[in-house]
Structure 1
Amino acid sequence: MGALATRAPLWAPRSLSVREAAARMQAHGVSSLLVEGDPPGIFTDRDLRRWVAEGRPLEAPLAEAASFPLLALPRTTPLLEAVAFMVERGIHHLALLEGGKVVGMVTHTDLVRQEAQLPLLLLRRIEGLVLEGYAREVAGLVQSLLEAGAGALEIGRLVAGLNDALVRRLLAEAERTLGPPPTPYAFLVLGSEGRREQALLTDQDNALLYAEEGHEPYFEALAERVVGGLLEAGFPPCPGGYMATRLHMSLEGFRRAMRGWTEAPEPEALLKAQTFLDLRQVGGELDLRPLEAELLAQAQKGVFLHHLARSALAFPPPSTPFGRLPPSLEPKRHGLFPIVLLARFYAVYTGSPERHTLDRLKAASGKGALSAEMAELLGEGFGLFFRLRLRAELKGQGALSPKALSPLERRRALEAFRAVRTAQGHLRLRFGLR
């Protein structure tokens, strides 16, 4: 990606006035200045517009108007990974590093001229709250990236970043209408979106937590606006009701609910607990780190862990007599579900806070709960089935004929099924499950 950085970055001292910084940017024809310091920062044309719109003094030092810290990636970062990084963080300028030093800058304008045009145009639609057609545009993006040879998991991460940006934009608009939140809150995405493993838009899975009770009307209205916006953008409602319009509660209310789900894990309670084990915060100022640690500790208790292990065996891979795949291969049910459930179990078992399935498998291997070879085989299988799922869903199908797979894909699918059977067998023996 370094070839995109055609000019050296322009630096400015923290004491430079905002007025002088704007003049320097105009003189050099750039849309950003890097601001000296430890850590360094950045001052962009967007920062300047915001500063002026707020009526702030132009003689103020640059340190007051700039954004800190400067976000950067190595110069060798692949293009799609860099785009995903920018989308996730909602930034339009990215510094490039070589040998620990900033050697160049990449902007949205640079990337729109490259193959990154589609995701960045989608991000601009989100910023303008142009919701109609969002789902169709995402499907087109996924199709284009797959045909261009992009990795399926990288596509999933990129789309998750776009969806996160949409939620944050809807939250900002809701706060503008309803007023500032009366107590800190956290907007959560759950399930595959929480794991960053959703590419095409499937059912909403989200929730809303807030610090103090007594402010329910405000957060009910906030949830209605965000969920409504997601529906307008093309996210179908969750048939099970896992949406913030129903799942909104105080922190203490959530703690009570979670204790109930884990201490008496009936089927519905087990499903709710597992869904929240994949939570990821995408908006709001409430710090959920203490709550996430409590959630993980609660899930590690004996009775719940036993049920979690049993649920990891709920989707055995299909039989493959004489090395033949089933006549109808369902990538989600046959391949993704069993690997996701195994990875989630081992994340809880080892106390890992990771969310993405590959990160959970890697963490389990690092702590000795899975062999490095098994974690690698399951990870490769997960990547394969994720790509096959995208191919099937882009055709409006939930299954594929084995004939639609290349010989290499068929062989890797068989290897993945063997790995899942082995991993499930080891888990069954370890916990004495039948």
Structure 2
Amino acid sequence: MPEPFDTHSPPFDRLNVKQAKHLLSALDVAYYRRGDTLIDIGDKNSALNIVIKGRVQEVNPETKEIQAQYIKDDLFDARALLLGYSHHCYRAVEDTLCYVLPKAVFVALYEENQAFADYFNTSFSQRKRLLEKAQQQQNLAEFILTKVDESNIQPILTLDHDTSIHDATRQMHKQQQDCALVAMKGKSHDVGIITRTNLLHALVEDGCSQQHPVGEVATAPVISVEVGEFLFNVMILMTRDRVKRVRVTENGGTVGMLDMTQVLSLFSTHSHVLTLQINRAHTIEELALAANNQQQLVETLTNNGIHTQFVMELISAVNEQIIEKAFRLTMPEAFYDKCCLFVMGSEGRGEQVLKTDQDNGLVIADDADWPDVQHYMERFSEVLSRLGYPPCPGNVMVNNPRWVKTQAEWQKDILSLCQISDEGSLMDLAIIADSHAVAGNKALLDPVSALLRETLKGNMLALNTFVRPCLAFRVPLTLFGGLKTDKEGLDVKKGGIFPLVHGVRTMALENGLTETNTFDRLNALVKCNAMDQENANNLTEALKLFVKTRLRQQLDNDATTTGNQLDVTLLPRTERDLLRDCLSVVKKFKERLATHYQVRD
């Protein structure tokens, strides 16, 4: 006898109690021998099939191409039930046992229950979001969906520019507020902010009188967010810009204030506490203590069901602060503003979650005289290793003189690499294309990045070679549409992440886009009509799933490895299906890239 039918797995978990009972009462079991045709092309399918055991292949009879393979818990062919006929042929390649749900019952449930119908109607990216939503616990959904609104905004006092320090202090005390906004005049910013600390420093350290106008001691500009913004995004903003308070606006006008204490009372990630540890570190040893807490932050966010893209953004902000602080503690102060440290790879794109290899370079100002720069670069690389960032196997790091150049040398190097245009030189350009300045004089990187974009924009001859590495790795799908693994597992980086990221990077360079983050690049490609919205959505969701699945298995292994091999046997059926769909999305994307850039093997 087969196991009892599970009504708690998608999409059947969308049915109410009455509908689930109706489904169970209508189910039957069918047995098919190996070689039997369950549904043929053009057939008016009479039932929805859910595999209990065995294997079924979906074949396109015209091309003989195997479209998919169905195993335990997979269902088919709902499309034929809705359209009235089947587009493909379904054959048992093993002795197979299936639950069968009569068409009349399926259609009735489809028409009665919109959530159930949505599962079969939506695109891949929408279906993935539906499945993720179904898997989230209620408190986690509240965690991520909380927005800035009147329930969490604090009132804020607004003072005139000429209000005296004495009167400002009295008004702040009367309203029990430790800060106030100031309407500035004759300044480049309309609004400034004062705190009790500002006023104390003005009186004690600067010698201002109590009648001194607060507009002269206010800090500007004030970081602002709009009503309706996600509180999690506010936390990322506070972490990245290192501020404790943000002004809340609506249609340009001030409606209140949010402070970090409030945000932390709603969220338990303690990211700002980690940021304070980083800021207060005076030695490498103190910074290492803060860096070691980063792993716990990742685990907290992931275990709380926080969306992968949000985790990437927050961890990238924290990583950037750790690296910047390490650079500041290591470099001689005289040269700090004469150079720019930039990161590349996943850190440069803002897509790093766990600590990965060092990928960094240095731009030195043309007028800088720094003969012992390499000594400091070697020291800095050693410091990063102590903080948990292992050396790059390809030696793309600042202790390699190849990645330390003056601004003029970098520009000359980019032009030279573009002229050579072989795969090696263009892969170096691909690495540089994801550069993000994190320390020193960040403006030094801008002309280098701009020259790279200008040189490759619309350069289809160079991009024909540039795109090839992402076409070299095969997508790990079998001829039968199943997941292809070896004894080490499924390599999600080679088969999914790299071709997606590099393909999007190529399209971004072709169109001269300034974005470096893959998600931002996809949005920008849609805006410039280089990609349609559905394909961008599918690629976005695929990348998030690849990263999320890899991260979960890394954390389950106590993060002792940052390997890219997935053990697909550990995945539940719904996630296995999504992974297969994601890899199919990448496969189709690669086919479009090969056509667009006229790559023929």
Asked if Structure 1 and Structure 2 have the same fold, meaning a TM-score greater than 0.5 normalized by the shorter chain, the answer is yes
Pairing partner for 2:578 from 412, 421, 430: 412
Pairing partner for 2:243 from 88, 91, 96: 91
Pairing partner for 1:11 from 158, 164, 170: 158
- 1:2 corresponding residue in structure 2: 149
The answer to whether residue 325 in structure 2 is matched with residue 169 in structure 1 is yes
Higher RCO by CA contacts (8 Å cutoff, separation 6 or greater)? 1
In structure 2, do the counterparts of structure 1 residues 82 and 24 end up closer, same or farther at CA, with 3 Å as the change threshold? Answer: same
Pairing partner for 1:304 from 451, 455, 462: 462
1:184–1:286 contact (8 Å) kept in structure 2: no
Q: How many angstroms does 1:377 deviate by?
A: 1.2
In structure 2, do the counterparts of structure 1 residues 416 and 210 end up closer, same or farther at CA, with 3 Å as the change threshold? Answer: same
CA-atom RMSD in angstroms: 2.8
2:292–2:387 contact (8 Å) kept in structure 1: no
1:272-313, CA deviations, whole angstroms, 9 ceiling, x for partnerless residues?
Answer: 211110011123334243332211112333443222121231
Question: Match for 1:270: what amino acid?
Answer: L
- Give the Cα–Cα distance (whole angstroms) in 2 for the partners of residues 218 and 20 of structure 1: 55
- 1:31 corresponding residue in structure 2: 178
- 1:292 corresponding residue in structure 2: 449
Question: Match for 2:441: what amino acid?
Answer: E
**Which runs of 5 or more structure 1 residues have no equivalent in the other structure?**
none
1:6-85 map, 5 Å: 7-16=154-163, 21=168, 25=172, 28-37=175-184, 38-44=189-195, 47=198, 55-59=205-209, 61-85=213-237
Question: Match for 1:56: what amino acid?
Answer: D
Q: How many angstroms does 1:231 deviate by?
A: 2.8
In structure 2, do the counterparts of structure 1 residues 28 and 236 end up closer, same or farther at CA, with 3 Å as the change threshold? Answer: farther
- 1:125 corresponding residue in structure 2: 277
Q: How many angstroms does 1:228 deviate by?
A: 4.3
2:308–2:544 contact (8 Å) kept in structure 1: yes
1:104 aligned counterpart, secondary structure: strand
**Which runs of 5 or more structure 2 residues have no equivalent in the other structure?**
1-147
- Give the Cα–Cα distance (whole angstroms) in 2 for the partners of residues 203 and 192 of structure 1: 9
- 1:400 corresponding residue in structure 2: 566
Q: How many angstroms does 1:325 deviate by?
A: 1.4
Question: Match for 1:149: what amino acid?
Answer: G
Q: How many angstroms does 1:134 deviate by?
A: 4.0
Q: How many angstroms does 1:92 deviate by?
A: 1.3
Q: How many angstroms does 1:405 deviate by?
A: 2.2
- 2:500 corresponding residue in structure 1: 339
Q: How many angstroms does 1:40 deviate by?
A: 1.4
- Give the Cα–Cα distance (whole angstroms) in 2 for the partners of residues 120 and 21 of structure 1: 29
- Give the Cα–Cα distance (whole angstroms) in 2 for the partners of residues 44 and 311 of structure 1: 54
- 2:314 corresponding residue in structure 1: 158
Q: How many angstroms does 1:316 deviate by?
A: 3.0
- 2:389 corresponding residue in structure 1: 235
- Give the Cα–Cα distance (whole angstroms) in 2 for the partners of residues 13 and 230 of structure 1: 48
1:339-370, CA deviations, whole angstroms, 9 ceiling, x for partnerless residues?
Answer: 10111011011111111111212222333332
- 2:60 corresponding residue in structure 1: none
Q: How many angstroms does 1:135 deviate by?
A: 4.5
Q: Which has the higher helix share?
A: 1
Instruction: Provide TM-score, normalisation by structure 1.
Output: 0.89
- 2:16 corresponding residue in structure 1: none
Pairing partner for 1:388 from 520, 529, 549: 549
Indicate the larger mover: 319-328 or 386-395.
319-328
Q: How many angstroms does 1:122 deviate by?
A: 0.9
- 1:425 corresponding residue in structure 2: 591
- Give the Cα–Cα distance (whole angstroms) in 2 for the partners of residues 332 and 195 of structure 1: 15
Aligned length: 431
Identity value in percent: 26
1:164–1:282 contact (8 Å) kept in structure 2: yes
2:460–2:597 contact (8 Å) kept in structure 1: no
Q: Which has the higher strand share?
A: 2
Pairing partner for 2:521 from 347, 360, 363: 360
2:490 aligned counterpart, secondary structure: coil
- Give the Cα–Cα distance (whole angstroms) in 1 for the partners of residues 175 and 379 of structure 2: 43
2:354 aligned counterpart, secondary structure: coil
Tell me which structure has the larger Cα radius of gyration.
2
1:83–1:116 contact (8 Å) kept in structure 2: no
Question: Match for 1:41: what amino acid?
Answer: G
1:26-74, CA deviations, whole angstroms, 9 ceiling, x for partnerless residues?
Answer: 5544332212134312234565677689x43434644444332211112
Q: How many angstroms does 1:95 deviate by?
A: 1.8
In structure 2, do the counterparts of structure 1 residues 344 and 58 end up closer, same or farther at CA, with 3 Å as the change threshold? Answer: same
- 1:199 corresponding residue in structure 2: 353
1:199-278 map, 5 Å: 199-217=353-371, 219-220=373-374, 223=377, 226-246=380-400, 247-278=403-434
- 2:511 corresponding residue in structure 1: 350
- 2:21 corresponding residue in structure 1: none
Q: How many angstroms does 1:4 deviate by?
A: 6.6
Pairing partner for 2:484 from 323, 326, 338: 326
1:237 aligned counterpart, secondary structure: coil
Indicate the larger mover: 320-329 or 372-381.
320-329
Indicate the larger mover: 184-193 or 300-309.
300-309
Question: Match for 1:419: what amino acid?
Answer: V
Question: Match for 1:207: what amino acid?
Answer: G
Instruction: Provide TM-score, normalisation by structure 2.
Output: 0.66
